[in-house]
């Protein structure tokens, strides 16, 4: 059987971490099975759906490297939905209801106050023609519900295992709004049938929807696809994601935090699985090791600090040719391979390199706490041309003259030359700064 999956975002906001994880899982599943990946935009709600969000979601998916083989917009398929709706109306599987939102809210409250589940009571099914005419005369327009069969609904979920519902324990879902526009549930099922979707991977917040969807597939004469519901992401302590984390979008991670796409994917692909979280520089190893069965039912703990840790590892493994265009984009077109190789081990994210570029090129405020020692060291500085050995030649000479060693020897030199007390290896940094600037910094008088 050839596999086909879809990722179905609603373009009502940016792509957030949780949805990106579902997209990634869906994509990895498709690629690991040699299957196809459909991007379906769930844009039947004209008020909340925005083209700019659709474009931003696509942009985020592309940045993550999640390419799609096919794309569909639900707003282009309204005529098709009407055809299928007509069939369900004819078969009596959807029925008109006239309750107002206020009436429904009240019914719900009453049931809950009696400790009863808030299941719709199907009062609409016993309306007389006279009552319907009265409602119509009042200007009420019906919304439509799908009539669930009161029978067991079961499926073998690729992540959750055996899942069982009873149709009688669920409310008949509303599938058409008062204005006649079809809602997510039915459109989604019609699309999944028409696009030959074999597996639906989505968040566990959709589990009870799936129970109703299975009956919709059957009512439309289709065999339901397979399902996998991934556990939602929680914070590092297992609690609900905070507002800040919950609203963290892929665009924020890219633009505000300056992170690598593969740091994000390396974490999201393994979160909540039995595989270790490791820094990868391409999606391939994640495709190769992907299996839905590795995902746990328990919520996946998300700690953004881990993305930064992975990001640093990825940067440390990145060769110059993979970053030179981006370095030019961040305003460092003259930065060369020697510079990149000297400082990359000190970067957590690529933009950190700007700090080291400033250290090398100035201006730098040298930190000189022991002016006599620095003055003495300055007299021992080897003459140019300098080589990779210059640093060790110089520090050996200083050691011999002053008797200093270890931190006492190196730290004051580092502080004088870079103005900082940590950073890249000084043998390399010395060459990047160059003889003129090193001399100048060593001879700087301590600020009064």
| Positions that interact with ligand GLU (CB under 6 A) | 8-10, 42, 188, 202, 206
**Contact (CB, 8 A) for 58 and 89:** no
Strand-pairing partners, residue 153, are 165
Cα 229 versus chain centre, distance: 17
| Separation of alpha carbons 68 and 51, rounded Å | 18
CB of 202 to ligand GLU, least distance (A): 4
Minimum distance from CB of 109 to ligand GLU (Å)? 26
Of 42 and 172, CB closest to ligand GLU: 42
CB of 18 to ligand GLU, least distance (A): 10
With 0-12 / 13-18 / 19 or more C-beta atoms within 10 angstroms meaning exposed / middle / buried, residue 59 is: middle
299: tokens are: 């919520």
Residue with tokens 């190789």: 341
Nearer to ligand GLU, 18 or 272 (CB): 18
Give min distance, CB of 105 to ligand GLU, in A. 23
* In the complex, least distance from residue 41 CB atom to ligand GLU, rounded to whole angstroms: 9
Contacts of 79 (CB under 8 A, 6+ apart): none
Nearer to ligand GLU, 184 or 356 (CB): 184
Nearest CB to ligand GLU, comparing residues 190 and 283: 190
- How far apart are CB 302 and ligand GLU at their closest, in Å? 18
Nearer to ligand GLU, 38 or 430 (CB): 38
SS3 37: strand
User: Closest CB to ligand GLU among 191 and 260?
Assistant: 191
C-alpha 419/C-alpha 71 separation (Å) is: 54
Q: Which is nearer to ligand GLU, 158 or 441 (CB)?
A: 158
Shortest distance (Å) from residue 111 CB to ligand GLU: 26
Which pair of tokens denotes residue 121? 């009571």
The crossing angle, in degrees rounded to 10, of helices 435-442 and 406-418 is 110
Shortest Å, Cβ 188 to ligand GLU? 5
Burial (CB count within 10 angstroms: exposed 0-12, middle 13-18, buried 19+), residue 310: buried
Cβ-based nearer residue to ligand GLU, 214 or 438: 214
The angle at the Cα of 409, spanning 405 to 415, to the nearest 5 degrees, equals 160
C-alpha–C-alpha distance, residues 183 and 81, integer Å: 10
**Smaller CB separation from ligand GLU, 205 or 369:** 205
DSSP-assigned letters across all residues of 210-278? HHHHHHHHHHTT----EEEEEPPEEETTSSPPPHHHHT-BHHHHHHTS---HHHHHHHHHHTTBSSPP-
The distance of closest approach from Cβ of residue 15 to ligand GLU in the complex, given in angstroms and rounded to an integer, is 10
- φ/ψ (deg, to 5) at 252: -65, -45
């Amino acid at each position: 059987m050839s596999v086909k999956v879809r990722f179905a975002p609603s373009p009502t906001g940016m792509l957030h971490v949780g949805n990106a994880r579902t997209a990634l899982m869906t994509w990895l599943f498709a690629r690991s099975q040699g299957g196809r990946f459909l991007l379906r935009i769930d844009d039947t709600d004209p008020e909340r759906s925005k083209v700019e969000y659709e474009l931003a979601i696509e942009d985020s998916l592309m940045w993550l490297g999640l390419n799609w083989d096919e794309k569909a917009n639900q707003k282009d398929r309204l005529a098709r939905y009407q055809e299928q709706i007509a069939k369900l109306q004819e078969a009596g599987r959807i029925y008109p209801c006239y309750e107002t939102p206020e009436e429904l809210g009240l019914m719900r409250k009453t049931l809950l106050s009696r400790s009863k589940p808030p299941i719709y009571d199907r009062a609409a099914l016993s309306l007389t023609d006279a009552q319907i005419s009265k409602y119509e005369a009042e200007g009420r327009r019906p919304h439509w519900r799908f009539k669930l069969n009161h029978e067991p609904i079961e499926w073998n979920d690729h992540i959750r295992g055996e899942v069982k519902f009873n149709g009688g324990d669920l409310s008949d879902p509303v599938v058409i709004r008062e204005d006649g526009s079809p809602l997510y549930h039915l459109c989604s099922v019609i699309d999944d049938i028409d696009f030959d979707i074999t597996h639906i991977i989505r968040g566990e917040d959709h589990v009870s929807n799936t129970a109703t969807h299975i009956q919709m597939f059957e009512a439309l004469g289709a065999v339901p696809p397979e399902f996998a519901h991934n556990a939602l992401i929680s914070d590092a302590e297992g609690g609900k994601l905070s507002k800040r984390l919950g609203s963290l979008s892929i665009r924020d991670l890219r633009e505000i935090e300056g992170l690598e796409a593969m740091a994000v994917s390396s974490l999201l692909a393994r979160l909540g699985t039995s595989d270790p979280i490791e820094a990868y520089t391409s999606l391939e190893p994640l495709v190769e090791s992907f299996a839905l069965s590795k995902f746990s039912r328990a919520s996946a703990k998300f700690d953004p600090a881990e993305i930064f840790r992975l990001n640093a590892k990825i940067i440390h493994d990145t060769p110059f040719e993979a970053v030179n265009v981006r370095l030019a984009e961040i305003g460092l077109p003259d930065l060369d391979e020697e510079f990149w190789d000297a400082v990359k081990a000190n970067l957590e994210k690529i933009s950190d390199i700007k700090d080291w570029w400033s250290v090398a090129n100035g201006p730098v405020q040298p930190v000189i706490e022991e002016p006599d020692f620095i003055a003495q060291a300055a007299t021992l500085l080897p003459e140019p041309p300098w080589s990779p050995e210059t640093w060790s030649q110089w520090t050996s000479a200083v050691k011999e003259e002053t008797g200093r060693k270890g931190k006492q020897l190196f730290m004051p030199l580092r502080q004088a030359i870079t103005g900082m007390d940590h950073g890249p290896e000084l043998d390399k940094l010395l060459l990047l700064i160059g003889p003129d600037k090193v001399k100048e910094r060593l001879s700087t008088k301590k600020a009064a």
